[in-house]
Structure 1
Amino acid sequence: MTTFAIGDTDFLLDGRPHRVIAGALHYFRIHPDHWADRIRKARLMGLNTIETYVAWNAHEPVRGEWDATGWNDLGRFLDLIAAEGMHAIVRPGPYICAEWHNGGLPVWLTSTPGIGLRRSEPQYVEAVSTYLRRVYEIVAPRQIDRGGNVVLVQIENEYGAYGSDHDYLRTLTDLTRACDITVPLTTVDQPEPHMLTAGTLPDLHTTGSFGSRATERLATLREHQPTGPLMCSEFWDGWFDWWGGVHHTTDAAASAAELDALLAAGASVNIYMLHGGSNFGTTNGANDKGRYAPIVTSYDYDAPLDESGHPTEKFHAFREVIARYAPVPDEVPPARPAAPVLSVPLRATGDWLPASTEPAGGAATPPAFEDLGQLGPLVRYDIPLPAGAFGEAGTAVLSFTEVRDLAWIAVDSAPIGRLQRALHERSLPIPRGAHLTVLVEDQGRVNYDVRLGENKGLVGTVTLGGRELTGWSAQPVDLAAVAAGIPAASEQTTAGRTGLAGTFDLDEPADLFLDTEAWSKGYAFVNGFFLGRYWRNGPQRTLYVPAPATRAGANEIVVVELEHVIEPVAAFVAAPDLGHREE
């Protein structure tokens, strides 16, 4: 039996000192057909371990409907890591942050009335306990002392930045041990004294998360973890992007120097991210520290392996550093080849928004997405307009308590304007009319801090000319059904919201990069595979199409455009464009 333990100064593998040199791969952000490739390239960079979060809301978006197959097959992912001769670290949360929607927590959980998130509250603890038991059914038999490869399991995630309920941490720890998890248990926090104190327990091994000033931060960590191996279990080698921002990169040489300082100090490390992947579909999270900032579709993270899984300058710089401290294979993965370049004409099929089928007068205030059970990104709201609200001027100010997160306003089907939460917009003048339609998009659920689990949609009351509007109907939009219907729709000419469809041929399946420059805002699908969101707001200008989503011969592209297109064409380009950078 192989053993893995925490010694006085080191991790111990079969009783001998062992350094963990790990990298983060999120199986839920990578096409399953690419898992083995990304794992192998991790080994070729010199890593001996793969770390992954577990995204609860990917496995159980609807309460009681647990799924551990396909994209959610954590067991297969861990087995592929083992097949490459590598160890694994599992971080099941339940909260993961990760710039993933709702921080990994299911919407059904966070919208439960009276629930207390990430603390010793009975409803929350009961649901978390059921979730963790399911995860540990997968992990327990794959631990290193059972002939598997899992060497560490993490309790919660950066908890000291959120709370200090040590009874809650004790509950998670005791449950983990009761589920036959025998490998060492860890916590992670930024190396700030108050976070390190609040976020762990004496019998858990404390690790740090940081991307710079390694020597200083290891010293702070050592003050709070007096014995055992030092570990940076999130070594931030890049950063994420948000719509309306810039594409974040870090200097490869500077990142490599920080990694060198970590390893020279004898510390273990987990590189976050080794390969970020993509927020396919509408799985992106958002931050809100006074201004709402939804995360883009790409999770490239400026990582050593780019979004399409190919080595970058950082890969080679890190590999060179790791070779000073550990064996590195001779083989080096090839650079990213140029992707096929194509220009595909698209048919515009006109407004795809389904007509309202709900009778007016159903709700005094607009129901939230959660009230409607809507897990998709769109809800249509409708209400008759009172004629007396407009006065002699023929216009009146329409005002919302809050819009989460983006709303398109129409009066008698004529577009009037758009309100953005990110710009703190919540009112606009509208002309006299008989009927108001508001299409609201959830742009991504906040994944951090106190806004976890907030409702989406039109929040609170709505007034017109100072008078409250009541009697709302609300209808969830089935985006998958909309996209499926676009190819069969008749061709129309439109300058507004429209569906787009086209076909293109490939000699063989291939990674593609879809240029969205000719469009405004919406969603794109290839052969039914939901690539994610695009937005002229940038910085991201291309969407990654993984080769397994394509096929030899005819392929289909469908676009659900929310605003307008400049040109009805789909351009596939040779390389990704993730946007402008700060100089």
Structure 2
Amino acid sequence: MSDFAIGESDFLLDGEPFRILSGALHYFRVHPDLWADRIDKARRMGLNTIETYVPWNAHSPRRGVFDTDGMLDLGRFLEQVAAAGLYAIVRPGPYICAEWDNGGLPAWLFQEPGVGVRRYEPRFLAAVEQYLEQVLDLVRPLQVDQGGPVLLLQVENEYGAFGNDPEYLEAVAGMIRKAGITVPLVTVDQPTGEMLAAGGLDGVLRTGSFGSRSAERLATLREHQPTGPLMCMEFWDGWFDHWGGPHHTTSVEDAARELDALLAAGASVNIYMFHGGTNFGLTSGADDKGVFRPTVTSYDYDAPLDEAGRPTAKYHAFREVLSRYSTVSAEAPPAVAAPAPQFSVPLGEPVRLLTDPAVWGPASRHATMPTLDDLGARLALFRTELDGDGPVLLSIGEVRDRALVFLDGDPVGVLERDHRDRALMLPRGRGRLEIVVEDQGRVNYGPRIGEVKGLLGDVQLGPDLLTDWSAWTIDLDAVPALWDSAAPATGPGVGPTAWRTSFAAEHPVDHFLGTDAWGKGIAWVNGFCLGRYWHRGPQHTLYVPAPLIRSGDNDLVVLELETMADPTAHFVPDLSLGPVES
């Protein structure tokens, strides 16, 4: 057991000055069988600590549930950090941002009208306390003063960029202490006077988040905190990507120079990210600062380890900088990985959503259009019969986030939130109207957190309100098993279609699934959801971690929502994350 404390100018480990050299590694973005590999590479780069967020909504997808299986086994992750001889920082939120769906806040929180999220409001605080008790039950025995690796715990996350409610922050800190956390607590904010004041707590160490002008930012932090160690809790060494944008990268030389300046000033650091990993499933979030921009599946972040866990030029540059301030392992840096297997297999046995929606489950009936939240869905099909004249205007109050419109099975158009689409012309006002609605990820930053998804407001045909809707929730977890009950289609077809195939592998090694010839959809390997793809890019591969691959036959399932120009699965030798910004 060790004692860890905040001193007059340093962190103190058993009474001696200790500099935290940390890297962000989110257990929920990395296959658990690869945690040890990523942690070991952090140690070999020269880090002594691993930091992770905790995503409330992943652990609690439904009220009353707290899941710690597989990729959510936080306790196992922290034990592996300790086994590697490293320390840990835990940031449980309750809000985490992290470019993660809804900033980590469960969607079910918002189903009760008037719940005051991220402020002192009794119903929200009751839910937060239950969550913190559950997650901190895992962390409490793993604190450094109990023989574990955990040095620090963070209260909330960049709260000064959101609100100014010290009573709320005090309540969250009190819940953490009540749950048995005895290690020091910290807050983090961007180093401006306003944010540090609004997001800080007396008696809790303030830390900063920034990626440039280190000396200036540390000086601002010191102005608002005359004593205590200086720390950049998020040293941004890269950035994340949005669908339709460039792949963001940062200069290796600039990042290394800023890291050197930070350490030369005597500060501690948490490199965000050391290894970004992947937004598997439908876990990526979105921005909306006037324009809705969903985040891509890859969370490569241009980090020292790429999405597949391989050292980059930034890894070697950071290792050299760290060696000036601490002892770096004498072990050689990890070797360059061999290219992934390259081959192609045809997709077959399509199951078409519009042909027989019943294969996806029973329909529910609604007098007016329900939201996706009403259905508990991320993707759904809505159908009604039209009995009018045409052509005629179809209009919708608001689209969140994407709607594919079909008339008698023929595609009519797409309504997209980022284009602010709300209406399109139908060629006739008679026939079977079907709308496939997709939630592309909940906003993770700012005032639009928690907003309802689906088609909001009235759905009208000309001046008339459309009623009598049938709705099919598309259970994405059940897609890989569709063929157990559905007869595959033959010949060409339109609309959302599930495809499957098998491929052989000699050994379980990383694979990269090329998606540039496909439209927009989701893919699974051996029942595991790899995430979304989209022809918009920038990324045109989905990462398939080696532990998902079986020696012998493997199953690939693809749900294509638009048009698949080439119904073939192309596995390629490397990541394709898209053109970089100029």
CA contact (8 A) 1:142 1:149 kept: yes
Matched residues in 1 for 2:176 and 2:376: separation?
31
**1:489: Cα distance to partner?**
4.1
Instruction: Specify the code of the residue in structure 1 equivalent to 2:492.
Output: T
Tell me the residue number matched to 2:98. Answer: 98
CA contact (8 A) 1:381 1:473 kept: yes
Matched residues in 1 for 2:215 and 2:472: separation?
55
- Asked if 1:547 is matched to 2:543, the reply is no
- Asked if 1:143 is matched to 2:139, the reply is no
SS in 2 for 1:228: coil
Instruction: Specify the code of the residue in structure 2 equivalent to 1:241.
Output: D
Matched residues in 2 for 1:475 and 1:196: separation?
47
Tell me the residue number matched to 1:181. Answer: 181
- Over aligned residue pairs, what C-alpha RMSD do you find? 1.3
TM-score normalised according to structure 1 size: 0.96
Question: For 1:76-125, what per-residue CA distance to the aligned partner results, in whole angstroms no more than 9, with x for missing partners?
Answer: 00000000000000000000000000100111112222201000111100
Tell me the residue number matched to 1:363. Answer: 367
Instruction: Specify the code of the residue in structure 2 equivalent to 1:299.
Output: Y
Tell me the residue number matched to 2:130. Answer: 130
TM-score normalised according to structure 2 size: 0.97
- Asked if 1:30 is matched to 2:26, the reply is no
Question: For 1:3-35, what per-residue CA distance to the aligned partner results, in whole angstroms no more than 9, with x for missing partners?
Answer: 000000000011111100000011001000001
Tell me the residue number matched to 2:439. Answer: 442
CA contact (8 A) 1:349 1:493 kept: no
Matched residues in 1 for 2:91 and 2:141: separation?
16
Question: For 1:131-187, what per-residue CA distance to the aligned partner results, in whole angstroms no more than 9, with x for missing partners?
Answer: 001111111111111111100000000000001110001111111111111111000
Tell me the residue number matched to 1:381. Answer: 382
**Larger displacement relative to structure 2 (493-502 or 285-294):** 493-502
Structure 1, gaps ≥5 residues long? none
**1:467: Cα distance to partner?**
2.3
**1:468: Cα distance to partner?**
2.1
The 5 Å alignment of 1:410-425 reads 410-425=406-421
CA contact (8 A) 1:348 1:568 kept: no
CA contact (8 A) 1:35 1:77 kept: yes
SS in 2 for 1:68: coil
CA contact (8 A) 1:350 1:493 kept: no
**Larger displacement relative to structure 2 (12-21 or 405-414):** 405-414
- Asked if 1:13 is matched to 2:13, the reply is yes
Matched residues in 1 for 2:435 and 2:493: separation?
19
Matched residues in 1 for 2:364 and 2:157: separation?
45
Matched residues in 2 for 1:247 and 1:308: separation?
16
Tell me the residue number matched to 1:516. Answer: 515
CA contact (8 A) 2:357 2:472 kept: no
**1:460: Cα distance to partner?**
0.9
Matched residues in 1 for 2:178 and 2:545: separation?
40
**Larger displacement relative to structure 2 (324-333 or 489-498):** 489-498
Distance 1:45 1:359, change over 3 A: closer
CA contact (8 A) 2:352 2:493 kept: no
Tell me the residue number matched to 1:257. Answer: 257
CA contact (8 A) 1:486 1:558 kept: no
Matched residues in 1 for 2:81 and 2:140: separation?
16
CA contact (8 A) 2:526 2:556 kept: yes
**1:288: Cα distance to partner?**
0.4
Tell me the residue number matched to 1:575. Answer: 574
The 5 Å alignment of 1:58-77 reads 58-77=58-77
The 5 Å alignment of 1:236-255 reads 236-255=236-255
Instruction: Specify the code of the residue in structure 2 equivalent to 1:419.
Output: L
**1:566: Cα distance to partner?**
1.1
The 5 Å alignment of 1:404-415 reads 404-415=400-411
Matched residues in 1 for 2:392 and 2:459: separation?
13
Tell me the residue number matched to 1:506. Answer: 505
**1:67: Cα distance to partner?**
1.1
Question: For 1:376-402, what per-residue CA distance to the aligned partner results, in whole angstroms no more than 9, with x for missing partners?
Answer: x20111222241xx3xxx211111111
SS in 2 for 1:504: strand
**1:462: Cα distance to partner?**
1.3
Question: For 1:339-390, what per-residue CA distance to the aligned partner results, in whole angstroms no more than 9, with x for missing partners?
Answer: 0111111115141355265465x233x111221222xx20111222241xx3
Distance 1:182 1:557, change over 3 A: same
Tell me the residue number matched to 1:399. Answer: 395
Matched residues in 2 for 1:309 and 1:422: separation?
32
Distance 1:358 1:572, change over 3 A: closer
CA contact (8 A) 1:19 1:267 kept: yes
Distance 1:291 1:229, change over 3 A: same
CA contact (8 A) 1:93 1:156 kept: yes
Tell me the residue number matched to 1:465. Answer: 462
CA contact (8 A) 2:191 2:220 kept: yes
Tell me how many residue pairs correspond in the alignment.
574
Matched residues in 2 for 1:110 and 1:42: separation?
38
**1:503: Cα distance to partner?**
1.4
Matched residues in 2 for 1:311 and 1:251: separation?
16
Distance 1:457 1:254, change over 3 A: same
Matched residues in 2 for 1:133 and 1:485: separation?
39
**1:483: Cα distance to partner?**
3.0
Structure 2, gaps ≥5 residues long? none
SS in 2 for 1:502: strand
